[in-house]
Amino acid sequence: MGCNHVKVPGGGFAIVCGRGRPTPRCRWCVSRPGKFQCDWKIGPGKTCDKHICPEHAQEVAPNKHLCPEHQKAYAAWLTDRQPKEAP
Ligand SMILES: [Zn+2]
Ligand SMILES: [Zn+2]
């Protein structure tokens, strides 16, 4: 992992090395920084991890955010999970 030259507003470059990566952009609007990552589980120990801005993220639990794609999956899951009538 080397260093990257990153354009900064107003012209000029900043040098970003190693772990200091520039903030990823939201996958949906691209113009905003993806402040959150989707916490939807897609497999054992794996989450969706798509970057989402506060506009596109839905906070479903404290510090748990979902991308627009998984907000739908979450809604379906909620419907599925409706309490079963006791026999
Ligand atoms: Zn967005
Ligand atoms: Zn997601």
Local mean pLDDT, 10-residue blocks, the chain (87 residues): 77 75 88 95 96 96 96 94 74
Residue with tokens 């959150």: 36
Residue 2 lies inside a defined structural domain of this protein: no
User: Which pLDDT score is estimated for 19?
Assistant: 66
38: containing domain: 23-80
Ligand nearest to C-alpha 68 = 2
User: Which pLDDT score is estimated for 13?
Assistant: 81
Residue 32 lies inside a defined structural domain of this protein: yes
Residue 28 lies inside a defined structural domain of this protein: yes
Ligand nearest to C-alpha 24 = 1
Q: What is the DSSP letter of 32?
A: S
Q: What is the DSSP letter of 82?
A: S
Residue 44 lies inside a defined structural domain of this protein: yes
Residue 63 lies inside a defined structural domain of this protein: yes
Residue 70 lies inside a defined structural domain of this protein: yes
Residue 40 lies inside a defined structural domain of this protein: yes
- What tokens does 1 get? 């992992």
Number of structural domains the chain divides into: 1
- What tokens does 60 get? 């479903």
Residue 38 Cα to ligand 1 middle (Å): 12
Residue 17 Cα to ligand 1 middle (Å): 26
